[in-house]
Structure 1
Amino acid sequence: MVFPNYAVADVGVATAFYEALGFTRNPAFSDETTSCMAVNEQVSIMLLEHERFDEFLVGEQRRAERGSLENLLALLLGSREEVDAFGAAGTAAGGRLSKPIEESEWGMYGGQLTDPDGHIIDFFHMEAPAA
């Protein structure tokens, strides 16, 4: 399994945003400062309020300042319709399209969504190559 960890200002706001995208909160790994958001059976995003996130850092490690890029999550979706719905759900929940939904090279259709804390999700659908 993969668990990307995101530092967030308010775990409630962040949780609501990711629930609006269709992710499910796993209460077994969540509390008042942390939400484990299941993307699928292999990936869960850990939303950690700043102080909680900082508990995982050692020595001179520091969390990225707001406005600096710390990671980019790429999410393959099952259809063009899912891409459109994902973008609409994300913007309705307080995110913004940082790259519009459009056709791109390699036969991909997708966009880029930035969550309320500045984390970026590239979301796209790619047709299977012709046999």
Structure 2
Amino acid sequence: MAVQMIFPNYAVADIGRATAFYEALGFARNPQFSDDATSCMVVSDQVAIMLLEHAKFDGFLTGDQRRAPRGMLENALAMLLGSRDEVDALGAAGTAGGGTLSKPIRDDEWGMYGGQLTDPDGHIIDFFFMEAPQG
């Protein structure tokens, strides 16, 4: 099996607000896979975040599956960035775009420099830079 792409799907209350936040992070909206209730936000050639308003998201659920209520974390997206400057820039863009810096940007005990953003709908994005091991 060879996975070609990964599409995390996020339920959002307001597609315009959510799209603006992810555009502030530097991700582009792919209009081919977007509509008035969905935004396909291209992160890289292999990853695109699907933002779906609640009713649209719920349409993908089956049986007794239910979307977790706000405040109940289901997953966290983690992004490895290319430099400390990119970490600082993403943190600034995320807060300017309506997100919250839920963990301050700092060095940690694992040799990573990073922080954590919470988007306007409560989704978590860990972002960090890690020096290549010397050896």
Q: TM-score, normalised by structure 1?
A: 0.99
Deviation digits for residues 29-70 of structure 1 (CA, Å, limit 9, x no counterpart): 000000000000000000000000000000000001011101
The counterpart of 1:115, out of the listed 90, 114, 119, is 119
Aligned equivalent of 2:71: 67
Cα distance in 2, alignment partners of residues 93 and 38 from structure 1: 17
Give, in whole Å, the separation in 2 of the partners of 1:31 and 1:99.
33
TM-score (norm 2): 0.96
What is the alpha-carbon root mean square deviation over aligned residues? 0.5
State the partner residue of 2:82: 78
User: CA separation in 2, counterparts of 1:100 and 1:108?
Assistant: 13
Structure 1 segments (4+ residues) deviating >3 Å = none
Partner in structure 2 of residue 7 of structure 1: 11
* Superposition map of 1:118-129 within 5 A: 118-129=122-133
Question: Number of paired residues?
Answer: 131
Q: 1:106 is paired with a residue of what secondary structure?
A: coil
Give distance in 2, aligned partners of 1:32 and 1:9. Answer: 13
CA distance in 1, matches of 2:55, 2:12: 9
Task: Give the match's secondary structure for 1:57.
Answer: coil
What is the identity percentage for the equivalent residue pairs of Structure 1 and Structure 2?
77
Q: Which amino acid aligns with 1:116?
A: P
Range with bigger deviation, 48-57 or 98-107? 98-107
User: Equivalents in 2 of 1:120, 1:92: separation in Å?
Assistant: 16
Unaligned 5+ segments in structure 2 are none
